[in-house]
A and B are shown apart, each in its own frame.
Chain A
Amino acid sequence: MINVEGVTKLYPSNKSKTKEKENQGVRGISDITLRVVEGEAFGLLGPNGAGKTTLIRHLMGFIKPDAGFAQIHGLDCWQDSRAVKSLVSYLPGEMNFFEQMSGLEFLILMSGMHGDQPIFQKRRNVLAERLDLKLKQPIRKMSKGMKQKLGIIYALMLDSKVLILDEPTSGLDPLMQKVFIELVLEEKTQGKTILISSHMFPEVERTCDRVGIIRAGELITVEGIQKIRQAQQQTFEITLEDAEQVQLLSEQGLVITSQKGNRLSVAIQGDINPLLSGLAQVKVKEFTQKTTELEEAFMHFYEGEGGI
């Protein structure tokens, strides 16, 4: 459904003054290739300035690639941008609306520009209720989180086949983040293709099938969520009875990342059996597994690729 092939867009850095620096001072995205199949949810992860939004701008036909191409449903995102946009719902990363309008006026305007189908109004009302947003409020009086909700309502009310969501939960409180994740999962069950760009890991972890990690304009890796979870490092906090027990466990060849008195932190990569064998030989007072989220797996991937 979404096909990005060797897309490159480079900008000379404004801050580069000397010629030598000019060569280094290039930002943008370089040779990005990825595919998102129909019905798949794909997460684009990376820190701020990594190039996520630049890639999305290519998909929306806002910028023309220096090399390569981006397609949605076989249509070129630059050449056939009008046709592409009739398939796509887009949530921009920056919530800059028409401040003089009310939320409702904005949604009515955008419905009209998308062909004003009866289902838009139905979905709009349901979404406004679920996200608890009063649409008649003037946009200029809305908080950042309320504007984000308005953006989400706009993107989801259109019932498009493809959803492109740039930093969708930015500014939302945890309760609304949960509602947003539920909404995305519902869209997913309807067979929609979803691309979410984020630097917030939980939303991607809970909604996406695969993740592309982007850094300094390059796509470092594309992996399934399951594989990243499996590859992630697990950390266990263990408190033993005395120093003798600590010494005994230390001799088991485990990776001990920290030790404070009788309390140890043990890091396990992959197979957990060596830890279980070691624990069978000592007296354990307390044993907890530290919750690891995709964020840690992500950091691990980065470190594995040469560090951040």
Chain B
Amino acid sequence: MFKQQGKKALNCATGLAFYNLLLIGVYPAISRSKAMSELSATLPNSVKRIFGVTSGSGLDRFESYVSSQCFGQVWLLVMGTYTISTADALIAKLVDQGAMAYLLSSPVGRLELLSTQVGVLVSGLALMIGLSEVGIWGEMSLFDIPIEVGPYLRLGVLEFALFLAVGAYSLFFSAMFKAEEHAMLCSASLTFLFYALDVFSGLNDQFSWVKDLTILGWVQPQEVLDGAVPNDRIVALFGFSAIFITLAGLIFGKKDLHI
């Protein structure tokens, strides 16, 4: 199972690494560009917020640039798509297509099987995020951009916790629905809702409290790269994941499987 999903993770991570290589490659030119400094200075904070810049600084700072570009919308989209589709493929797709009948015809319990699938999801996410981080470090050393490794490691753990949470509720929907497309629809809709709330919370200071209602709002890459230690958020996201994985186990352990 990991062999199949791992290949997908490796392909996505390689694609992201090349994308980041491109972004980091143009950073020295951007940071020296006066026009870019002026442009980023004139952008309202709400707009910068949408692009992942949270401390009011310009896009010409490397931390702002990395958080807005390397861990920005494209990265979120690829990671979100990978996480949701993998969670869907690990249970709902196998049940819907009938291949789960072979796995469950063996003397392996349903919870044991679910634990294996969670392991596949976790290792895939670790591979994706690990390769993204290693890629960024490698590319930064390639272009002689000095960085502190600690904050990047903390960000990696926080992003891992975030996507584990996305994977956990996606697994929950995957275990709950009979049809694969229903599971996928619910997972994607909830993720989009979280994203929309995160964007909405940045539009105006009056709505900043909305940030706490969405797990995407719990992850502010630039704050972490600037030195914040987000242990409480990491613990909260792991707790969130544990709840949904437990619920997925309760449902999958007892549901009728028409396979």
Interface of chain A residues 40 through 88 with chain B (CB within 8 A): 57, 60-64, 81-83, 85-86, 88
Are A62 and B98 closer than 8 Å at their CB atoms? no
Q: Mark B101-125, 1 if CB is under 8 A from A, else 0.
A: 1111111110000000000000000
Q: With A and B bound together, what is the CA distance between A64 and B98 in angstroms?
A: 18
Q: Mark B180-201, 1 if CB is under 8 A from A, else 0.
A: 0000000000000000000000
Q: With A and B bound together, what is the CA distance between A106 and B102 in angstroms?
A: 10
Query: B258 at interface (Cβ–Cβ under 8 A)?
Result: yes
Are A62 and B106 closer than 8 Å at their CB atoms? no
Q: Which residues of B contact A62 (CB under 8 A)?
A: 101, 104, 256-259
Contact pick for A110, options B4, B102, B256, CB 8 Å: B102
Are B259 and A57 closer than 8 Å at their CB atoms? yes
Query: A98 at interface (Cβ–Cβ under 8 A)?
Result: yes
Q: Which residues of B contact A106 (CB under 8 A)?
A: 102
Contact pick for B105, options A63, A85, A98, CB 8 Å: A85
Chain-B contact segment, one of A89-97, A239-247, A300-308: A89-97
Q: Which residues of A contact B106 (CB under 8 A)?
A: 85, 110, 113-114
Are A100 and B99 closer than 8 Å at their CB atoms? no
Contact pick for A60, options B4, B97, B99, B104, CB 8 Å: B104
Q: Mark B71-101, 1 if CB is under 8 A from A, else 0.
A: 0000000000000000000000000011101
Are A90 and B101 closer than 8 Å at their CB atoms? yes
Q: With A and B bound together, what is the CA distance between A85 and B258 in angstroms?
A: 17
Are B101 and A64 closer than 8 Å at their CB atoms? no
Select from chain A the residue with minimum beta-carbon distance to B259: A62
Contact pick for B97, options A64, A96, A114, CB 8 Å: A96
Query: A298 at interface (Cβ–Cβ under 8 A)?
Result: no
Interface size class of B (residues with CB under 8 A): 10 to 19
Contact pick for A82, options B101, B109, B257, CB 8 Å: B109
Q: Mark A87-126, 1 if CB is under 8 A from B, else 0.
A: 0111010101110110000100010011100000000000
Q: Which of B105, B108, B109 has the most CB of A within 10 A?
A: B105
Are B256 and A98 closer than 8 Å at their CB atoms? no
Q: With A and B bound together, what is the CA distance between A82 and B107 in angstroms?
A: 5
Q: Which residues of A contact B254 (CB under 8 A)?
A: 64
Q: Which residues of B contact A81 (CB under 8 A)?
A: 109
Q: Which residues of A contact B108 (CB under 8 A)?
A: 82, 85, 113
Known: A85-B107, A100-B4, A113-B108. A92 touches B258 (CB 8 A): no
Q: Which residues of A contact B98 (CB under 8 A)?
A: 92, 94, 96
Select from chain A the residue with minimum beta-carbon distance to B99: A96
Q: How far is the CB of A222 from chain B (nearest CB, A)?
A: 25
Are A92 and B107 closer than 8 Å at their CB atoms? no
Q: How far is the CB of B176 from chain A (nearest CB, A)?
A: 16
Q: With A and B bound together, what is the CA distance between A115 and B259 in angstroms?
A: 23
Q: With A and B bound together, what is the CA distance between A90 and B107 in angstroms?
A: 11
Are B105 and A90 closer than 8 Å at their CB atoms? yes
Q: Mark B2-37, 1 if CB is under 8 A from A, else 0.
A: 001000000000000000000000000000000000
Are A113 and B103 closer than 8 Å at their CB atoms? yes
Select from chain A the residue with minimum beta-carbon distance to B101: A92
Q: How far is the CB of A107 from chain B (nearest CB, A)?
A: 10
Q: Which residues of A contact B4 (CB under 8 A)?
A: 98, 100-101
Query: A180 at interface (Cβ–Cβ under 8 A)?
Result: no
Q: How far is the CB of A205 from chain B (nearest CB, A)?
A: 27
Contact pick for A114, options B99, B107, B109, B259, CB 8 Å: B107
Select from chain A the residue with minimum beta-carbon distance to B113: A113
Are B257 and A154 closer than 8 Å at their CB atoms? no
Known: A57-B258, A64-B256. A92 touches B105 (CB 8 A): yes
Interface of chain A residues 150 through 193 with chain B (CB within 8 A): 154
Q: With A and B bound together, what is the CA distance between A96 and B105 in angstroms?
A: 13
A-B contact pairs, 30 of them (CB 8 A): A57-B257, A57-B258, A60-B101, A62-B104, A62-B256, A62-B257, A62-B259, A63-B257, A63-B258, A64-B254, A64-B256, A82-B107, A82-B109, A85-B105, A85-B106, A89-B105, A90-B105, A92-B101, A92-B259, A96-B97, A96-B99, A96-B101, A97-B102, A98-B4, A98-B99, A106-B102, A110-B102, A113-B103, A113-B108, A115-B107
- Taking beta carbons and an 8 Å cutoff, which residues of A are in contact with B? 57, 60-64, 81-83, 85-86, 88-90, 92, 94, 96-98, 100-101, 106, 110, 113-115, 154
**Known pairs A57-B257, A92-B101. 20 more at Cβ < 8 A?**
A60-B105, A62-B104, A62-B257, A62-B258, A82-B108, A85-B104, A85-B106, A86-B107, A88-B105, A90-B101, A90-B105, A92-B259, A98-B4, A101-B4, A110-B102, A110-B106, A113-B106, A113-B107, A114-B106, A114-B107
